[in-house]
Amino acid sequence: MREADPLARRLLFVVGKGGVGRTTIAVATALLAARRGARVLAVETDGAAALGRALVVLRSQHHPPPGIERVRHLVIEGQAALEEYLGLIIPIRRVLRAVFESGVYGAFVTAAPGLRELMTVGKIWYEVEGRAGEAEAPDFVVVDAPATGHGLQLLRMPQSAAEAFGVGLVRREAQRIVNLLRDDSRTAVLAVTTAEEMPVSETIEMLATLKRLQMPTPTVVLNQVHRSPCSEAELGVVERAAQVASGASRMLLQTAAELARTEARWAASGEHQAERLQEHVRGAIIRLPYLFSEEFGPIEQLKLTGALGDVLCPPPADVARPL
């Protein structure tokens, strides 16, 4: 596996603005890791259900994707993670129940800024590191992080807690999480975006924040890349043909030329945004194609998984590719 291969790490965060295909890419990485034989845990947080629904649909297919039986799904909710953590440090059930039923506890959970985020990342740490040696412990954990703002808050909170608490249990727990998040031998980040002005701007800001948090350098995925249907020279041929044609042929050629020109502008605009993004990215950007479909379903998911796999898991040079 290549040094920069995000699937070679134990933990992968998939981050990005809402609507750019973040969950689709998270599912793709889970499937690719499972195909390698890994026991995979696919995680989403606080009531989000898109990743879980996608896995259910894929499992229900007549021919499920290979390896999907090795993918387990987990939803982490902040308060539930906190209660699980308290259960570990307060083994006496009577005392634990009294804590949960206390009005002070409820008010504290509601008021304490970032506590749920800290416990959520703590639960992720436990799945990656705390279950080592267990028979069902995952080999690979992929986290479909919340949309950019909340996702960055999730990743920022352990460091904030470690800095805020000088000594004690909270600092020790937070520092263990920070160490995992910053360790590029165990953790990787995939930043997903599309070739549009706002998503690219938000991704540039996100990359700067991740650098300040000293997290591993993200691998950037540019999703839904649109390519021009023809070259400028080919488009010129159609436009000139339309000028000399007559009747229905003229109308058909003019319509084809107008549509092709519109798609060429779309592709050029996307390329401009890709170049803008590249200025802030160290290394190559993974480009995934725009899939024209009335509805995004299992077929489209598997096409994008294959396209991502061609980059992250290329076949050996001496192995013939299927036609």
- Strand, helix or coil for residue 165: coil
Tell me whether residue 201 is in a domain.
yes
Instruction: Note the pLDDT of residue 323.
Output: 42
Tell me whether residue 164 is in a domain.
yes
**How far apart, in whole angstroms, are the C-alpha atoms of residue 33 and residue 190?**
14
Instruction: Note the pLDDT of residue 321.
Output: 47
pLDDT higher for 293 or 272? 272
Tell me whether residue 275 is in a domain.
no
Tell me whether residue 296 is in a domain.
yes
The mean of the pLDDT values for the chain is 85
pLDDT-based confidence at 88, cuts 50/70/90? Answer: low
- Strand, helix or coil for residue 63: coil
For the chain, give me the number of helices (H) and strands (E)? Answer: 12, 7
Tell me whether residue 133 is in a domain.
yes
Instruction: Note the pLDDT of residue 2.
Output: 44
Tell me whether residue 254 is in a domain.
no
CATH assignment of the domain containing 46? 3.40.50.300
Tell me whether residue 273 is in a domain.
no
Tell me the residue range of the domain where 29 lies: 6-227+290-312
- Strand, helix or coil for residue 279: coil
How many domains does the chain fold into? Answer: 1
pTM of the entire structure?
0.85
32 with 309: CB under 8 angstroms?
yes
pLDDT by residue (tens digit) across 219-269?
999 999 998 888 888 888 888 898 888 889 989 988 988 888 888 899 999
pLDDT at 9 over 50: yes
